[in-house]
């Protein structure tokens, strides 16, 4: 199993303390795409943050690629994330003053890929997302869908084992969203990467191999029409 969440719980202190996740279990295989649905505030982003090792559960275990994330110190968790995970977020996080190519090159540079090998790998993944030749475009010169494709290219350029996507198509029209999702899946599958994606969209989740619904009772198989979003 590439990613296992076993009995994971997460509690937030703060102004209104709450148990967000309670005894959540999840198994994700290589090459598999699992969609997590659930209403706003259900804990989808919390779950992705835990899977990324960005935050720690209060109880339970998260095992990624053979490593218990809870047993790693911050530096070791960062290394796992940098080398083996890719991220796509709704708000893009594409840096505005860098070109498309420079944005996509970031994971390669962070992983110490030789500078002379970077342009070819960037061009190849840009081509794969249908933006061949747009290396020098600045984010402000790209459409929403094109920007999201840059974000996907950046999430996949270092061939991660796991792609975590939080509302990856949230601000795109339906047709563009479906195309981009298909692209994400295709590229991830080519690398044998697992994809864990959080979405409100039934259409988006229908494109996943499995759909789970996050409720206060935990993660359960999602049945369309049974009170889902
Ligand atoms: N750092 C934090 N401190 C305190 N509470 C938090 C924190 N982060 C999230 N929460 C709370 O935890 C709950 C789950 O938040 P989370 O962002 O995981 O939900 P979500 O399912 O991703 O929602 P959405 O669909 O709106 O993105 C929410 O009630 C939120 O207010
Ligand atoms: Mg969220």
Task: Please spell the DSSP secondary structure of 66-133, one letter per residue.
Answer: TEEGGGS-HHHHHHHHHHHEEEEETT----TTS-HHHHHHHHHHHTT--GGGHHHHHHHHHHHTT-TT
Give the pLDDT of residue 223.
77
How does pLDDT run across 47-99, given as a tens digit for each residue?
999 999 999 999 999 999 999 999 999 999 999 999 999 999 865 688 999 99
Alpha-carbon distances of 79 from 114, 134, 160, rounded to whole Å: 18, 30, 12
State which of 19, 35, 39, 44 you would mutate to test the pocket of ligand 1, scoring each by most atoms of that ligand within 8 A of its C-beta. Answer: 44
- Name residues whose C-beta falls within 8 Å of residue 145's C-beta, 6 or more positions apart in sequence: 172, 173, 176, 179, 180
Testing ligand 1's pocket by substitution, the residue of 24, 39, 42 carrying the most ligand atoms inside 8 A of its CB is 42
* Helix 118-128 vs helix 174-191: crossing angle, to nearest 10: 130
Measured between its terminal Cα atoms, the distance across the chain in Å is 28
Long-range Cβ contact pairs of 23-28 (< 8 A, separation 24 or more): 23/60, 23/218, 24/60, 24/214, 24/218, 24/219, 25/218, 25/219, 26/212, 26/219, 27/1, 27/3, 28/1, 28/2, 28/3, 28/4, 28/162, 28/194, 28/196
Q: Is 38 in the pocket of ligand 1 (CB under 6 A)?
A: yes
> Is 65 within 8 Å of 160 (Cβ atoms)?
no
* Per-residue confidence band for 228, with pLDDT thresholds at 50, 70 and 90: very low
Give distance in angstroms: CA of 18 to centre of ligand 1.
10
Give residue 25's pLDDT.
Answer: 97
Please give the distance, rounded to the nearest whole angstrom, from the Cα atom of residue 179 to the centre of ligand 1.
28
- Please give the distance, rounded to the nearest whole angstrom, from the Cα atom of residue 155 to the centre of ligand 1: 23
Find out whether 44 and 36 touch, Cβ atoms under 8 Å: yes
Please give the distance, rounded to the nearest whole angstrom, from the Cα atom of residue 12 to the centre of ligand 1.
9
pTM score above 0.85: yes
Domains parsed from the chain with CATH numbers = 3-221 (3.40.50.300)
pLDDT of residue 229: 46
- DSSP code, position 201: -
Instruction: Give the chain's mean pLDDT.
Output: 92
155-164: per-residue pLDDT in tens?
A: 999 999 999 9
What per-residue confidence (pLDDT) applies to 143?
92
Find the mean pLDDT for residues 137-158.
Answer: 93
CA nearest ligand 1 atom 17, residue = 45
Question: Does residue 12 have its Cβ closer than 6 Å to ligand 1?
Answer: yes
| Residue 35 pLDDT level (bands cut at 50, 70, 90) | very high
pLDDT one-digit tens code per residue, 188-214? 999 899 999 999 888 889 889 999 999
Nearest CA to ligand 1 atom 2: 12
For residue 143, give the DSSP letter.
-
């Amino acid at each position: 199993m590439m990613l296992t969440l076993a009995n994971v719980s997460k509690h937030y202190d703060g102004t209104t303390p709450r148990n967000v996740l309670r005894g959540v279990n999840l198994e994700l295989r290589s090459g598999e795409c699992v969609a997590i649905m659930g209403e706003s505030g259900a804990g989808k982003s919390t779950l992705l943050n835990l899977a990324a090792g960005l935050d720690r559960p209060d109880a339970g275990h998260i095992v990624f690629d053979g490593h218990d994330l809870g047993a790693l110190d911050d530096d070791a968790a960062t290394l796992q994330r940098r080398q083996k995970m890719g991220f796509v977020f709704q708000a893009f996080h594409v840096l505005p003053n860098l070109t498309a190519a420079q944005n996509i090159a970031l994971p390669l540079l962070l992983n110490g890929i030789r500078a002379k090998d970077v342009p070819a790998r960037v061009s190849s993944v840009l081509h794969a997302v249908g933006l061949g030749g747009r290396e020098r475009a600045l984010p402000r010169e790209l459409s929403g869908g094109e920007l999201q494709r840059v974000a996907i290219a950046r999430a996949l350029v270092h061939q991660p084992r796991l792609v975590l996507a939080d509302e990856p198509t949230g601000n795109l029209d339906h047709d563009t969203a479906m195309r981009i999702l298909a692209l994400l899946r295709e590229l991830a599958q080519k690398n044998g990467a697992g994809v864990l994606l959080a979405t409100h969209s039934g259409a988006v989740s229908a494109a996943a191999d499995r759909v789970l619904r996050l409720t206060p009772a935990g993660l359960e198989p999602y049945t369309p029409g049974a009170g889902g979003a």
